[in-house]
Structure 1
Amino acid sequence: MFLPFPTITQHLISNPFTLMATPSSLLLSLLIILYLALEFDIARSDPDPLQDYCVADPKASTSSFFNGIPCINPNLANTQHFTTSALSLPGNTKNLFGFSVTLTNTQNLPGINTLGLTLARIDIGARGIVPLHSHPRASEVTICLIGRMVVGFVDTSNRVFTKKLGPGESFVFPKGLVHFMYNEDVKNSAVAVSGLNSQNPGAQLVALAAFGSKPQIPEEVLKKSFEISECEIAHIRKSLGG
């Protein structure tokens, strides 16, 4: 007969090695890990706020570290803290990849602080691309507003899921998985808006992470990882701007 999970957990904490004594203990240990993940909500993206809102105070002292931005006095909050026009203007797509991302943040939308979400406007020029990238702390849902675009992601078994989106159509990118957006149109730009379930989702472009890191990843690692030569590595690095 099994003990209640809380009792088992207390036993595991006070006697961490006893559960490794028998093979059957491995399954029990895995169940305990699952229980702890559910009990303490390890999979949560951002922590829940402890109040109705926490309007960011960018001018607050930076002598202490906060998981977010310090709050102003709630009595000083007003409507302007919860609205922004940051996503109303098109971004500059004249760059290597032909795209621009404009994000809401605690500077242009202070009321978003601690709410666990971010909005993004994505402008993609003709034949532009948001290259392969991932968000380590957020899932993303995208809706195409103008034009048409090809979107997709790769799961951990290397299956690719792609879709051509037109205005009003949406697509979701699971948390942490590599994904892309591509505008096939040779003449017209495309515009999309995305929602991400983290105040700080992070973004890591695969190409820049591999070939544009500082200091550089050793060439031997890149040669073996991508099965390419030193000349090809140098060409890619030059194309990426460094």
Structure 2
Amino acid sequence: MPRLGAVALAFAPLILIATYKSGKIIEIRQMKEKSSSDEASTISFQAVSNIRTVASLCLERKFVSKCCAALAQSHKKALAHSHLLGLTYGFSNAVMPIAGGIVISYGTTLIRDENMDYKTLFIILDGVLFSMMMIGNTLALSPNYHKAKVAGCRILNILDKKPAIVNSPGVGLQITNCQGSIIYDKTEFHYPTRPEVQVIKGLTFGIEPSLHIGICGPSGSGKSTCIQLILRYYDPTLGRVHRLEDTWSKIYWMKQTSGH
């Protein structure tokens, strides 16, 4: 048994390193494939999201060519490293079967010649070789475990967060007499994820019932945000928006009765 254990322990560092490297190779390959395909994904997304403009200008072939060129570049990079990655990955996966075969072969020799108990063979095989393989997998996945732990905490924080605007059918008061006037009173707003960008600053004007107005401005000037504030998708950072409902009215009902 000591001799068989010594043979198994001789392969333990190789199995540990090979298993760890195998996991890291898979992770690195996935990261490279993701980064190389980001450009092609961006081109495809732009073409699909603006498909009417692309079709009206007859630019379909141009976007297809750009996407194919981006994919060809990533494919070329993958081919340049595929042989080295394949050899390394193959070696890391071959160490465990080779070590197991040698240990089993030597163990059967000891069973035949020295009447060693066959249970000892499997104890050493599982206790040394497979334990090293599990430790290597654990070490390779330990960074991902930390990332998963942080992501789980963020998800729980989001689930525990109570929204300032409750959009539920049974919450609030339903107004029966609605005038429909809207007043922006020194309204200021920035999106929660972009506090450094002031979308609306000091907006003050009123919209009376049956009055038709148009809001004009360049992209990003806050036209859609003005409508979102009326429907209480967001609340103003400063100032107020006097709508057809007060703070405690049914937002769900208000959105149903508003045309937008």
Please indicate, yes or no, whether the TM-score normalized by the shorter chain is above 0.5: no
TM-score (normalizing by structure 1) = 0.22
Q: Where is the helix percentage greater, Structure 1 or Structure 2?
A: 2
Q: Where is the strand percentage greater, Structure 1 or Structure 2?
A: 1
TM-score (normalizing by structure 2) = 0.20
Larger Rg computed on CA atoms: 2
